[in-house]
Structure 1
């Protein structure tokens, strides 16, 4: 057996046991030597003779899958998002695609909440000023009494909702597969996307990137938001139209934004780079010690389960 492992955080100490598990199982384990997500041609260069592919946020296109060796039986995503894996192409070729749902939900939720607080009080900007010897006065806003709109009420969205309520926020949510019992039990309100954005002083996104969610937060939706609202995205780049967001920041319609995911990663020429009221983090939502360990353990076990013919409940394309 030969296994390719590409997540950049898989080499951290938290994943020592997961590496040992794979190395004791496989004859050969090949690790990512570039220290970043792989492009299609870089994946193909490393797939020769590979039976299992434990994947980070690499670009696993239809062409990659079509050209992959016949030995490849499973692509195990290290995380919950699979938007960079062409699942129809994998299904057509008989390659199982697995994921690790729930393993990073607390980590991403806590980042989203910290970004709300940091945006509300301009913490990064004030920190930079003090380090420069300045002593500015800045009038922030409180979360208490404000409305949080959550788009995507899955594991992450639910955790965020409970924390927001603990801060005295009203929570409204949109999810096409809504857990109505959770909404009712926790005194929330739910409706369509327009219902949520119209009320949201803070809007937090927790949906996958699909053709349906591409630019779902565009100029039209931003215009429906309350004036001086704050937008948080710890999901996937492309859900927000970055040009439209930049225009809303320029006009003052949107007070601030905090993003952990971007249309281009790494960020090189985003129109958002010029704004000091935009917090930008390098797609780090899942990067806590606890989440790294949990994702690694489940992703490794998924590879082994599929390759040994055991039942794996995290296969997306059965």
Structure 2
């Protein structure tokens, strides 16, 4: 290594990946911890001079990262990073490593519909044998035999498909590019969503948020799902039209939804907020979680390693991994 890099972890989100980071990189680098608003002494200048920035946000409230050779999101989504503010010589990379955690979340959500352990436990503690084998009305449904639709076939969906097959589910997928995976029984393009949706018991949305995917799942497409189908959103909230989703749930067309990605989030101006401008919380057929599906110790470790590995590649002049936007040579 000819010289050490200055690596800036910007903001609270990036700070989650900071502990122990020096152990993953070669000696000689300087690692800085910068606040979200860069209000500390010298922080704005340090941000502008950093060789590597680890962060999830870049907008006009922040200095231009003029010296950055690499802007690394410690997450899969980069929709809050305004690439127009990145120098042409700055590469933008992201991280995955969350697909195993999200797959476990999705199957926890699916299984709780068919195996009501919590309800059975609560009832039996009150001497109610609600789910006793042989009791009239106690028969449960099974996850196996249902059809799971995966909207988007990236890292998350590719982790879900074999797990679904292991439970005996049929797996359908819709994706921008062709899907040729033996784990998938049938695949459609994103221009064929109506027939894709028509045969599903459960739709799992895994798409990132882009101008092309915002509001993609609208009222017409939700109505194409069979009555009683379920929706699980672990992609980005606005991929499903907010009002259309609320309407399909409140009308009873959808049997239910598990929503982990939302339309409103806390930020620097507000430490807490409702996750939507609409009142999902009063709907009895909705399970709400606070964007937690991929947030595990394993995810943090894997993403730290991805960032450290890319820093090593940058120093050695090797091609970077997980490139969202490549740098233009100076």
The range that moved more, 205-214 or 271-280, is 271-280
CA contact (8 A) 2:15 2:33 kept: no
Aligned residues: 302
Which residue among 53, 57, 60 is the counterpart of 2:58?
Answer: 60
Q: Could you tell me which residue of structure 2 aligns to residue 35 of structure 1? A: none
Q: CA deviation at 1:307?
A: 5.3
User: Which structure carries more relative contact order (alpha carbon 8 Å, separation 6+)?
Assistant: 1
Cα deviation, 1:119-176, whole Å, max 9, x if unaligned, reads: 455777x49977x979696976432221111111122212211111211211111011
* Residue in 2 that maps onto 1:2: 6
Q: 1:30 aligns with which of 30, 33, 40?
A: 33
Given that residues 149 and 202 in structure 2 are in contact (C-alpha distance below 8 angstroms), is that contact kept between their aligned partners in structure 1?
yes
2:279 is the counterpart of 1:281: no
Q: What residue in structure 1 maps to residue 208 of structure 2?
A: 208
Q: Contact 1:119–1:257 (CA<8 Å) still a contact in 2?
A: no
User: 1:79 pairs with 72, 75, 79, which one?
Assistant: 75
Classify the secondary structure of the residue corresponding to 1:238: helix
Per the alignment, do residues 301 and 134 of structure 1 end up closer, same or farther by CA in structure 2, a change over 3 Å counting? farther
Q: Matches of 2:38 and 2:116 in 1, distance apart? A: 39
The gaps in structure 2 that reach 5 residues or longer are 132-137, 267-272
183, 201, 207: which one aligns with 1:186: 183
CA contact (8 A) 1:153 1:206 kept: yes
- Alignment counterpart, residue 106 of structure 1, candidates 96, 100, 109: 100
Distance 2:113 2:130 in 1: 15
Contact 1:75 1:303 in 2 (8 A): no
Greater helix share, 1 or 2? 1
Aligned equivalents of 2:202, 2:150: Cα separation in 1 = 9
Whole-angstrom distance in 1 between the partners of 2:313 and 2:14 = 19
**Using the alignment, how far apart are the partners of 1:279 and 1:273 within structure 2?**
9
Q: Secondary structure at the match of 2:21?
A: helix
Q: Which has the larger radius of gyration?
A: 2
**Quick check: 1:108–1:234 contact (8 Å CA) kept in 2?**
yes
CA RMSD of aligned residues (A): 3.4
Contact 1:119 1:277 in 2 (8 A): no
CA distance in structure 2 between the partners assigned to 1:220 and 1:28 by the alignment? 50
| Residue matched to 1:196 | 196
Q: CA 1:19–1:218 in structure 2 vs 1: closer, same or farther (change >3 Å)?
A: farther
State how far apart, in whole Å, the 2-side matches of 1:40 and 1:239 are.
31
Q: Are residues 199 and 100 of structure 1, via their aligned partners in 2, closer, same or farther at CA, if it must alter by over 3 Å?
A: same
* Distance in 1, Cα, partners of 2:129 & 2:78: 43
* Aligned: 1:268 with 2:271: no
Q: What TM-score does the superposition give when structure 2 sets the normalisation length? A: 0.78
